[in-house]
Amino acid sequence: MSGAVERLEAEADIRQLVARYAVCLDRRDLDGLVDLFVPDVRVGRGVVGRDALREAFAAQLAPLGVTVLNTGTHQIDLDLAAGAASGHVYCKAEIQDGDRWIHQAIRYDDDYRRVEGRWLFLRRNHRLFYGAEVGRNPLALAPANWPEHHTGTGTLPHEEPTWQAFHGSDGEPAE
């Protein structure tokens, strides 16, 4: 394979990794989410591994309701010979925090590693430009019953099996 093709494939794989992160987080698919990281991911001082990362994500996400991560600008620096890369990903997030609806502008500073032919996160650092409360929580609206109405609440993410497993039937995080 030519170097140019290998570079394009690596960049496409890393962009899909970032997209999968956003989808898994929004769906509360914690198994899928931690599988995007290297097996020996460092979670804290002396704390490593996907099990520890799963616990950390569960604790961070438990107080939140719906999240919508929308990734955009993605700059990637590759070192194909080393099977490593780094990058910056810009993200706009919408977050349900109790009765509040928050908008955030985020930059993720990432390090990636190729493990057994698969690009994974080695490290992901969430950097915040801002977070601001929006005047009206869209989840407090009446159901849209799409396509009947263009405004109102929809069915996502509540109909996702991973969301239901995370939050339980009563909407609270499952034990």
Tell me if 81 is assigned to some domain: yes
Specify the CATH number for the domain of residue 18: 3.10.450.50
In this structure, is residue 172 part of a structural domain? no
Looking at residue 118, its pLDDT comes to: 97
Q: Is residue 28 part of a domain?
A: yes
At residue 80's C-alpha, the angle toward residues 76 and 86, to 5°, is 30
Indicate the number of domains in the chain.
Answer: 1
* Band (172; pLDDT cuts 50, 70, 90): low
Residue 1 — pLDDT band, cuts 50, 70, 90? low
171 has a pLDDT exceeding 60:
no
- Is 175 within a domain? no
Compute the average pLDDT of residues 55-75. Answer: 96
Rg of the Cα trace of the chain?
18
Residue type, 164: Q
pTM to 2 decimals? Answer: 0.88
Residue 94 has what pLDDT?
A: 96
Pairing type for strands 118-133 and 100-115 reads antiparallel
Measured CA to CA, the distance from residue 55 to residue 33 in angstroms comes to 12
- Mean pLDDT in residue range 37-41: 98
CA dihedral (106, 111, 113, 119) in degrees, to 10, reads 20
Nearest 5 degrees, angle CA 124-CA 72-CA 90? 40
DSSP state letter for 71: E
136-166 pLDDT, tens digit per residue, is: 778 788 888 877 877 788 888 988 999 999 9
Q: What pLDDT digit, counting tens, does each position of 12-32 carry?
A: 999 999 999 999 999 999 999
Which residues does 151 contact at the CB level (< 8 Å), separation at least 6?
A: 141, 144
